[in-house]
Amino acid sequence: MNNRKKKYFWHPMTDTRASEEETIVIERGDGNFIYDDTGRKLLDGVGGLWCMNVGHNRPEMNRAISEQMEKLSYYQLFTNIAHPKAYDLAEKIIQMTQEEEMAKVFFTSGGSDSVDTALKITRQYWQAVGKPNKKVFLSLEKAYHGMHYGGTSVGGNPIYREFIGPGLQDCVRVSSPHLKKNKWNCQDPEELTKLCIAELVDTIEQVGADNIAAFIAEPIQGAGGIIVPPSSYWPALREVCDNHDILLIADEVVTGFGRSGHLFGSRGWGIKPDAMILAKGLSSGYVPLGAAVFNKRIVEGIESATNGANVIIHGHTYGGHPLGCVAALEALRIVEEENLVMNAREVGAYLLERLKGLEGTYDCISDVRGKGLMIAIDFENTGKYDVEQTSKNVQAVADYAINAGVLLRDELQTIIISPSLTFSKENADQLFDAIHMGFEEWQKQQ
Ligand SMILES: Cc1ncc(COP(=O)(O)O)c(C=O)c1O
């Protein structure tokens, strides 16, 4: 075990004083497994950070990246400069998003970059088409849209803004379509959609549709606790956006490229967003890369502007990095050739069903939910334990699972499971056994 973690760097999302905590130092990866610096082999139930879609240390990925490295390790995309792999990848992304009718890609270096790019470009679109008042962003409570100022501002967790405000003005949040936890105590999916949509329409009326640029949301809310909306929610959301001339941005950083059991989360709900935000699975975590993708309406609006809004005054040194582009081209080839979208759907459904069986076995489990290979297990929230104790309970179960050889993510009162899309049923069984054992051990201690 290792205790040097706090000496020279701060960990994201971590108490700066938590120096005595143990850190798991991952040294090596292989397929769906990782190895720490003590040589311990762990099944990676986290998929790095919901990003290692094709698994760790794949020879094809390594080869593609190192071949590119030999040729050109870096070049930029500003103004009239490019490299061939950016063209190849942009074409591939547009081809993969034909169903969503996407028209143009803007490359970035990660999810947060892409979120802020989409926010800026949607505002710019309204300037371009002569509606400069449309500036407000609508989003969901519990939303996670990365940690830049734009994404933090539209994010749905006020804790992230507590010490760094004020953020971006003109951000308004509406209720998240969470079947287990909503202010109406509504457990009927159709009814919940109606309630959420009615609240949204009220909000739009209050703010004024003429002031609203876009609604941004994750097709399945990830970091907020894997909130799977009722299947009627996104089609209804799309309709409201259309009726009020509001652009719809799907943040597909987690759900993009198969994790939800559909190529894109929004495709799983049968809707076409106006803009899509991609990262993580795009390059399968091998090299940092992100993209914001825009449909014809946005592209044509900006390109035909006569007031100067046709110029993109935005860009990142590492946006569309050649190593990221080749990693993405190879990762997307693997996703398609190995049919990993279907694998995520099938193995995810199998694992979810097994885990749902635990709900009746341990009364501390209040909910098991998910779609594809994004699954959450909630500890009870009935007042038996306070928030701090619940979070310790979740951590204790995750620690037992580690001892059983499986790495999971614990987030306050939730265990989050987001492995590589290459996960097999055998891997799912190992993960299930470790969690089962974790709950059993925890219960024994009560
Ligand atoms: C939905 C969503 N959007 C944006 C981001 C930010 O991505 P990054 O951490 O690459 O900046 C994340 C990260 O987890 C995410 O889950």
pLDDT tens, the chain, 446 aa long: 455 656 788 889 988 887 656 789 999 999 999 999 999 999 999 999 999 999 999 999 999 999 999 999 999 999 999 999 999 999 999 999 999 999 999 999 999 999 999 999 999 999 999 999 999 999 999 999 999 999 999 999 999 999 999 999 999 999 999 999 999 999 999 999 999 999 999 999 999 999 999 999 999 999 999 999 999 999 999 999 999 999 999 999 999 999 999 999 999 999 999 999 999 999 999 999 999 999 999 999 999 999 999 999 999 999 999 999 999 999 999 999 999 999 999 999 999 999 999 998 998 899 999 999 999 999 876 677 777 888 888 999 999 999 999 999 998 899 999 999 999 999 999 999 999 999 999 888 88
Closest residue (by CA) to atom 13 of ligand 1? 146
Comparing CA positions, the residue from 271, 239, 233, 237 lying closest to residue 252 is 271
Ligand 1: centre distance to CA 113 (Å): 9
Residues 306, 386, single domain; the answer is no
Residues 293, 434, single domain; the answer is no
Ligand 1: centre distance to CA 392 (Å): 25
Residue 215 CA to residue 173 CA, distance in Å, equals 9
Closest residue (by CA) to atom 7 of ligand 1? 111
Q: Ligand 1 pocket test: which of 260, 277, 280, 321 has the largest number of ligand atoms within 8 Å of its C-beta?
A: 280
Residues 183, 307, single domain; the answer is yes
Distances (CA, A) of 90 to 85, 108, 140, 250: 8, 12, 29, 18
Residues 180, 321, single domain; the answer is yes
Q: Are 415 and 394 in contact (CB under 8 A)?
A: yes
Ligand 1: centre distance to CA 163 (Å): 20
Domain end: 295, 317, 337, which one? Answer: 337
Query: DSSP of 213-253, one letter per residue?
Result: EEEEE-SSB-TTT-B---TTHHHHHHHHHHHTT-EEEEE-T
Per-residue pLDDT at 1: 44
Closest residue (by CA) to atom 14 of ligand 1? 146
Ligand 1: centre distance to CA 216 (Å): 13
Per-residue pLDDT at 20: 53
For residue 166, say if its preceding peptide bond is cis, omega within 30 degrees of 0.
Answer: yes
Residues 204, 110, single domain; the answer is yes
Percent helix / strand / coil, the chain, rounded to 5? 40, 15, 40
Residues 315, 377, single domain; the answer is no
Residue 193 is assigned to a structural domain of this protein: yes
Comparing CA positions, the residue from 174, 168, 170, 166 lying closest to residue 133 is 170
Residues 161, 215, single domain; the answer is yes
* Dihedral angle of Cα 217, 412, 439, 258, to the nearest 10 degrees: 20
Ligand 1: centre distance to CA 178 (Å): 20
Residue 6 is assigned to a structural domain of this protein: no
Residue 430 is assigned to a structural domain of this protein: yes
Comparing CA positions, the residue from 157, 240, 156 lying closest to residue 196 is 240
Residue 255 is assigned to a structural domain of this protein: yes
Closest residue (by CA) to atom 3 of ligand 1? 145
Residues 306, 350, single domain; the answer is no
Residues 411, 321, single domain; the answer is no
Residue 157 is assigned to a structural domain of this protein: yes
* Closest ligand 1 atom to 110 CA: 10
The number of domains in the chain is 2
- HEC sequence for 161-199: HCCCCCCCCCEEEECCCCCCCCCCCCCCHHHHHHHHHHH
Domain that includes residue 431, residue range: 26-54+339-444
Ligand 1: centre distance to CA 148 (Å): 10
* Closest ligand 1 atom to 221 CA: 1
* Dihedral angle of Cα 348, 354, 356, 361, to the nearest 10 degrees: -160
Per-residue pLDDT at 319: 98
Q: Ligand 1 pocket test: which of 11, 112, 278 has the largest number of ligand atoms within 8 Å of its C-beta?
A: 112
Residue 16 is assigned to a structural domain of this protein: no
Please tell me the number of Cα atoms within 13 Å of 413 on its side-chain side: 19
Residues 6+ apart with CB under 8 A from 442: 364, 393, 396, 397, 400
* Beta partners for residue 138, in sequence order: 172, 215
Closest residue (by CA) to atom 10 of ligand 1? 111
Residue 175 CA to residue 210 CA, distance in Å, equals 21
Domain end: 299, 315, 337, which one? Answer: 337
How many CB atoms sit inside 10 A of residue 201's CB? 16
* Closest ligand 1 atom to 223 CA: 16
Domain end: 289, 304, 337, which one? Answer: 337
Residue 14 is assigned to a structural domain of this protein: no
Residues 88, 170, single domain; the answer is yes
Residue 230 CA to residue 272 CA, distance in Å, equals 17
Residue 437 is assigned to a structural domain of this protein: yes
The CATH number assigned to the domain holding 396 equals 3.90.1150.10
Closest residue (by CA) to atom 5 of ligand 1? 146
Residue 416 CA to residue 124 CA, distance in Å, equals 36
The CATH number assigned to the domain holding 260 equals 3.40.640.10
Per-residue pLDDT at 295: 98
Residue 139 CA to residue 83 CA, distance in Å, equals 36
Residues 320, 216, single domain; the answer is yes
Residues 39, 112, single domain; the answer is no
CB-defined site of ligand 1, < 6 Å: 110-112, 115, 144-146, 218, 222-223, 251, 253-254, 279
